[in-house]
Amino acid sequence: MIPPHRREVIRLCIELDAGWRNPVLGHLGVLRSPVHTAQEAREVAAAIVARPGFALVGLMAYESQVAGLGDRPAGRGPRALTTGIVNRWVRRHSIAELGVRRAAAVAAVREVAPIEFVNGGGTGSLESTHADASVTDIAAGSGFFGGHLFDNYSAFTPAPAAAFALSVVRKPSPDTATLLGGGWVASGPPGTDRLPAVAWPPGLAVVPREAAGEVQTPLSGPGAAALDVGDRVWLRHTKSGELSEHVTEFAVVDDGRVVDLLPTYRGEGKAFL
């Protein structure tokens, strides 16, 4: 251990639990922090300020139950309709509750320390987070790449900016093509919305009984018959972390030409997860 007077000051940020504690549905949101109320945030802030060698510089709150909850689910059946109604209800009430509580927490923390920033987000809550005057910066995260998760938001429609290609390595039948790998699963509850979506060529669909797997991803549909071993199929990711976990670099394309190569953290030799 290095004593405080012999090292640089360590800058800290408090994470406020942005989840909505509904009396019927329970805790809605990611389980990341025990700091939920303004009083709890103030107590943590006071403990940090009182400790030599540490400086409290910020507060953050990731509202996943808003940012990661699409209000326009894919499909047109009763299930999609019901899910959309429930998700819109959760988003509306959670935004209202968090707006009041976050503002109170920020005010309570500022009584203890002149924090430099208050971070909120992410991608699917850009509009509501921007409307919160207590927030100084917004985390957009996956929105920069426009994964297919965000196709299901009524107020947020980013242009898809990234995709990845997999090779056809098997033809188990004339009307089926099997890709090598493909099970690049995004965070969140397991489901088809967390798996890659086929983008090109058209006329392809994932086989429901296998879906996208770590070893292989079989495809069916009218387009599968035209594929041969060695052909490429382009897929869109759900969020963005799965790309950086699997590839070493992104190719920046402009007008059909690769103009730059940017390393991911895996490409830089790092593995965080």
Beta bridge partners of 10: 54
Token pair in block for residue 240: 């963005």
d(CA 188, CA 174): 35
Model confidence over 186-200: pLDDT tens digits?
Answer: 887 777 888 999 999
Please check whether residue 111 is in contact with residue 42, taking contact to mean a CB–CB distance below 8 angstroms.
yes
Could you tell me which CATH number the domain at 4-143 has? 3.20.20.10
Beta bridge partners of 255: none
d(CA 21, CA 69): 16
The yes/no answer on whether domain 164-239 falls in CATH 2.40.37.20 is yes
Q: Checking phi first, is residue 203 left (phi over 0); if not, alpha (psi -120 to 50) or beta?
A: left
d(CA 42, CA 107): 9
Please say whether the dihedral angle defined by the alpha carbons of residues 242, 154, 80 and 223, taken in this order, is positive or negative: negative
Please check whether residue 120 is in contact with residue 135, taking contact to mean a CB–CB distance below 8 angstroms.
yes
| pTM of the shown model | 0.81
Closest CA to 249 of 268, 266, 263: 263
How many CA atoms are closer than 13 Å to the CA of 224, on its beta-carbon side?
Answer: 21
Query: What is the residue extent of each domain of the chain?
Result: 4-143, 164-239
d(CA 105, CA 251): 42
Model confidence over 100-144: pLDDT tens digits?
Answer: 999 999 999 999 999 999 999 888 888 889 899 999 999 887 878
Per CATH, 4-143 and 164-239 having the same topology is answered no
Q: What percent of the chain has pLDDT over 70?
A: 99
Q: Where are the beta strands (DSSP E) in 51-92?
A: 54-62
Model confidence over 165-182: pLDDT tens digits?
Answer: 999 999 999 999 999 999
Closest CA to 29 of 97, 85, 75, 84: 97
What is the enclosing helix (H) or strand (E) of 11? Answer: strand 10-15
Strands 54-62 and 10-15: parallel
d(CA 224, CA 178): 9
d(CA 175, CA 14): 54
d(CA 106, CA 16): 10
Three-class secondary structure of residue 161 per DSSP: coil
Beta-carbon count within 10 A of 126 CB: 20
Model confidence over 197-245: pLDDT tens digits?
Answer: 999 999 999 998 898 988 999 999 999 999 999 999 999 998 888 888 8
